[in-house]
Structure 1
């Protein structure tokens, strides 16, 4: 399984018992949908290795207590500590309306209600306080905040996102 075909689910953060159980911090708003997994991929030096799950249950809301097959001792648990967890993209719940996963909208055309065609969405920068659409307009980078009030429509069929940005925002990038 390649990382490109997977999504980041979380990270093993600590040991739970002397029998190899671990606690994983999940990066999701819906941890309960991942409570009964059969297997999960662990990232070892950029190689995804499948691990089969004997049992798992939610622990303190956003932690998942996991007992993997063949991880039976504290030493076994130490060997997988701080490992990132991944699942295949097909396992992501489908989103509808104006909700989307970042990976699914890359390549979409961004159109502003007042400005017109802005360009192609190249990436989403979520390392800032507010996530930003990074748009390519004929070699010029335009950044638009991913504000729910700005996003009018996400059209998966036509691969477009229609936004309404404050007047002059897009022009700031074009009038240099």
Structure 2
């Protein structure tokens, strides 16, 4: 399995018991959706390795407590801590009309109610405290906070994201 064909589900953050159980911090709004998984891919030595799940349960609502097959000791579990966990893209839940996954909107055209055509959405920056749309406007990068109040409409059919951002925000990047 290639990483490009998967989505990031979370990170293994700690051991839970002396029997090899682990806690995965999920990067999702709906942890319940991932309770019945049969397997996940764990990034190990720059490769995605499948791990089959014997049992899982939610711990403190955003942590998934898992027991992987063949991980039976604290030592086995220790080797997996801080590793990232992935699932194939086809495992993503279907979203409502204006909802989207970040990877889906890359390549969409971005427009603003007042400014007009902004440019091509090239990425979503999630490394800052506020996620940001990265938009290419004739070679200049425009960053717009990913805020529900700024998103007027997501037109998936025509691959356009319609925004309504505060006056002057876009122009600030173009001066």
TM-score interval, normalised by the smaller of the two chains: over 0.9
- Cα pair 1:98 1:152 within 8 Å, conserved: no
Aligned length: 175
TM-score (norm 1): 0.92
Bigger mean CA deviation after superposition, 161-170 or 107-116: 161-170
- Distance in 2 between the 1:11 and 1:148 partners? 26
Secondary structure of residue in 2 paired with 1:66:
strand
Structure 2 partner of 1:142: 142
Against the structure 1 CA distance between its residues 10 and 158, is the aligned structure 2 distance closer, same or farther, given a 3 Å change threshold? same
Secondary structure of residue in 2 paired with 1:149:
helix
- Distance in 1 between the 2:62 and 2:162 partners? 34
Secondary structure of residue in 2 paired with 1:80:
coil
- Distance in 1 between the 2:148 and 2:35 partners? 30
Counterparts in 2 of 1:1-176, with a 5 A limit? Answer: 1-174=1-174, 176=175
TM-score (norm 2): 0.93
Against the structure 1 CA distance between its residues 116 and 97, is the aligned structure 2 distance closer, same or farther, given a 3 Å change threshold? same
- Distance in 1 between the 2:77 and 2:146 partners? 39
Give CA-to-partner distance per residue, 1:11-49, whole Å, 9 cap, x none.
112222222111212121211111111000011122100
- Distance in 2 between the 1:91 and 1:113 partners? 35
- Cα pair 1:135 1:142 within 8 Å, conserved: yes
- Distance in 2 between the 1:41 and 1:157 partners? 31
Secondary structure of residue in 1 paired with 2:78:
helix
